[in-house]
Amino acid sequence: MQESESPNVSNIQLEPEKVVPIGELEESQYQSLHQLLDKNKDLFAKSLQELKQTPEGEHIIITEEVPPIKKRAYRTAPKENEFIESEINDMLEQGLIEPSTSPWSFPVVV
């Protein structure tokens, strides 16, 4: 980082292709965060292929006789629709998500 630059969203990079959007930071905060992320980089997945389901158990949401909340999808541009479909298909292929017939739903947020 050049002396005239302050750490911000556009210039914190842990890998050449990865930019972490975190906002404005003071130099000491930038250094601390960068060291923390670098020290723990093995904890972060670099792709969906690295993510796995946990064998620890199944998560169940208790709704106690409450009528389901079903929100309609937000309007999205065709380009966003392509991105959403691609991400959903990738996550389905990796076994990270599964099709659902639940009466509960909430729109995708990009």
**18-31 per-position pLDDT tens digit:** 666 778 888 899 88
Quick check: is 35 in a domain? yes
Quick check: is 60 in a domain? no
Quick check: is 2 in a domain? no
Q: Is the pTM of the predicted complex or chain greater than 0.75?
A: no
Quick check: is 17 in a domain? yes
| One domain for residues 74 and 109 | yes
Domain count of the fold of the chain: 2
Q: Is the pLDDT of residue 2 over 50?
A: no
Quick check: is 1 in a domain? no
- Give the domain extent around 22: 13-43
- Whole-number Cα distances in Å, 78 to 5, 36, 75, 85: 36, 38, 10, 10
Beta strands in the chain (DSSP E): 13-15, 18-19
